[in-house]
């Protein structure tokens, strides 16, 4: 399927230019709480849940982030300056995310914060990063339709996760989809994209349902799977619920060969928690799987297991959580001798490339999202995914891909005239 084209926009201004042109003198900006690295250290925030319903995946993001910081410091830091992580546990709760973000940005004056799994938590912290001109590095796959000047997005957007996956599912299993997700913005927006794709492919939605975060009782949902007999169960359930859904699916005697779950959110981490036999035969679309063979991935997996134990797994969110710290360090290194503030880091991050475990990645200089390598994996008994499809080239991020005419630029989202 052809990607919608975008662009025709002029490479634009850096983070603070907007405020400056509205008549705020530079001194106002200087005094407005802008974080600035001083002395021999660069303070960064680490904001992933270590408790609560999404700790199952966010713990791995915390670990991959801290490991990358250690690697950078062991190699001499950023032009000799050490990265100093300030770690907070937002407990899988958007209000706590906002409270901790305020502490990291206003109290600690971190020049960037690495954080969030759910889109709900990203939306909760955004006003703080925008108000204080700070920078949030977000590693998670998400629904797109966002274009903040204060976020670097390193996870997949729908054109990097669904564009090839949905046609592949229709071709291999059929056109009747049941959409099941957790009840918040991410699953609803991803399902809107799925419906647009299905409509183009002559597909049909036979059921759509949202369960509360942390939900663990799927019997009535599974009864609906049995009654509607979809060809594909398209899942955007997140956190602990992923484990419950898979276990109860198998216990109900459903067969992945006839009615597979096709997920955007089931990774090696949830599979490890549920046991490989419950994931066997189900599919996930993502730019990274632990089984991917590359020298960079072998090094990444070995480093994680050496630090966190031989049973530790890597996954499609921990990988960007890892590589985005390296991209941050490269951007900061480019600013040698100049002021290290979130807006200058953001501008320096545009166009940065890094040889990541999944392949060479790049931060787009227009929309601050990342070029990635989509893949489709089939879960195996050993908890790994067998990669059965992979993109031959990196895929440009297009956060408004499903909504032609809207384009993310350094000035924010703009409507392009037809
Ligand atoms: C998500 O909420 N972006 C997984």
pLDDT 10s digits, 260-312: 999 999 999 999 999 999 999 999 999 999 999 999 999 999 999 999 999 99
Q: How many residues would you count in the chain?
A: 418
Confidence of residue 411 (pLDDT cuts 50, 70, 90): confident
Atom of ligand 1 nearest to the CA of 141: 3
What is the DSSP-derived secondary structure letter of residue 413? E
Q: Taking Cα atoms as reference points, which of 206, 155, 214, 124 lies closest to residue 358?
A: 155
Inter-axis angle of helices 318-334 and 342-349, nearest 10: 100
Closest CA to ligand 1's atom 2:
118
Q: Report the percentage of the chain scoring pLDDT > 70.
A: 92
Region 22-29 average pLDDT: 39
Pairing between β-strand 261-263 and β-strand 232-236 as defined by DSSP bridges:
parallel
Higher pLDDT, 11 or 131: 131
pTM given for the model = 0.92
| For residue 22, pLDDT beyond 80 | no
What pLDDT, in 10s, does the model give residues 361-371?
A: 999 999 999 99
Task: Look at residue 174 and tell me whether its pLDDT is greater than 60.
Answer: yes
Residue 418 pLDDT: 62
pLDDT of residue 336: 83
Among 162, 122, 158, 161, smallest CA distance to 139 is for 122
**Is pLDDT above 90 for 7?**
no
Extract the tokens encoding 377.
Answer: 């994996």
Q: What is the pLDDT of residue 349?
A: 98
Q: Is any atom of ligand 1 closer than 6 Å to the C-beta of 249?
A: no
Give me the sheet containing 370-371, strands edge to edge: 353-356, 359-363, 370-371
| Mutation test residue for ligand 1: of 49, 94, 118, the one with most atoms within 8 Å of CB | 118
Look at residue 14 in the predicted model and tell me its pLDDT. Answer: 32
Domains of the chain: 6-156+295-371 (3.40.50.2300), 159-286 (3.40.50.2300)
Q: Is the CB of 116 under 6 A from ligand 1?
A: no
């Amino acid at each position: 399927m052809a990607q919608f084209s975008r662009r025709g926009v002029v490479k634009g201004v850096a983070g603070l230019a907007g405020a400056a042109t509205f008549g705020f003198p530079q001194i106002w900006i200087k005094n407005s709480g802008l974080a600035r690295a001083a002395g021999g250290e660069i303070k960064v925030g680490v904001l992933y849940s270590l408790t609560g319903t999404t700790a199952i995946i966010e713990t791995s993001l915390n670990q991959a982030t801290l490991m990358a910081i250690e690697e950078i410091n062991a190699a001499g830091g950023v032009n000799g300056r050490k990265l100093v992580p300030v770690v907070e546990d937002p407990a899988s709760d958007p209000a706590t995310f906002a409270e901790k973000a305020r502490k990291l940005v206003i109290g600690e004056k971190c020049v960037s914060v690495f954080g969030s799994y759910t889109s709900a938590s990203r939306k909760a912290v955004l006003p703080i990063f925008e108000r204080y001109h700070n920078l949030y590095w977000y590693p998670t796959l998400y629904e797109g339709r966002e274009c903040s000047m204060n976020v670097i997005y390193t996870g997949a957007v729908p054109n990097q996760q669904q564009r090839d996956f949905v046609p592949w599912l229709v071709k291999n299993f059929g056109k009747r989809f049941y959409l099941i997700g957790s009840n918040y913005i991410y699953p609803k927006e991803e399902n809107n994209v799925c419906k647009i794709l299905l409509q183009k492919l002559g597909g049909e939605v036979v059921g759509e349902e949202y369960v509360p975060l942390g939900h663990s009782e799927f019997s009535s949902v599974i009864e609906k799977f049995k009654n509607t007999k979809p060809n594909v169960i398209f899942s955007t359930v997140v956190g602990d619920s992923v484990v419950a859904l898979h276990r109860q699916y198998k216990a109900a005697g459903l067969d992945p060969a006839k009615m597979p779950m096709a997920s955007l959110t089931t990774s090696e981490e949830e599979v490890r928690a549920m046991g490989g036999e419950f994931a066997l035969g189900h599919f996930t679309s993502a730019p990274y799987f632990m089984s991917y063979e590359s020298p960079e991935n072998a090094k990444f997996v070995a480093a994680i297991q050496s630090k966190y134990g031989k049973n530790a797994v890597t996954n499609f969110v921990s990988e960007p959580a890892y590589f985005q710290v390296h991209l941050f360090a490269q951007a900061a290194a480019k600013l040698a001798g100049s002021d290290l503030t979130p807006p200058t880091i953001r501008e320096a991050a545009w166009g940065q490339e890094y040889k990541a475990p999944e392949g060479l990645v790049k931060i787009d200089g227009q929309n601050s999202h990342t070029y990635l390598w989509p893949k489709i994996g089939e879960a195996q008994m050993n908890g790994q995914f067998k990669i059965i499809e992979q993109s031959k080239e990196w895929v440009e991020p297009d956060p408004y891909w499903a909504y032609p005419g809207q384009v993310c630029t350094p000035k924010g989202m703009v409507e392009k005239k037809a």
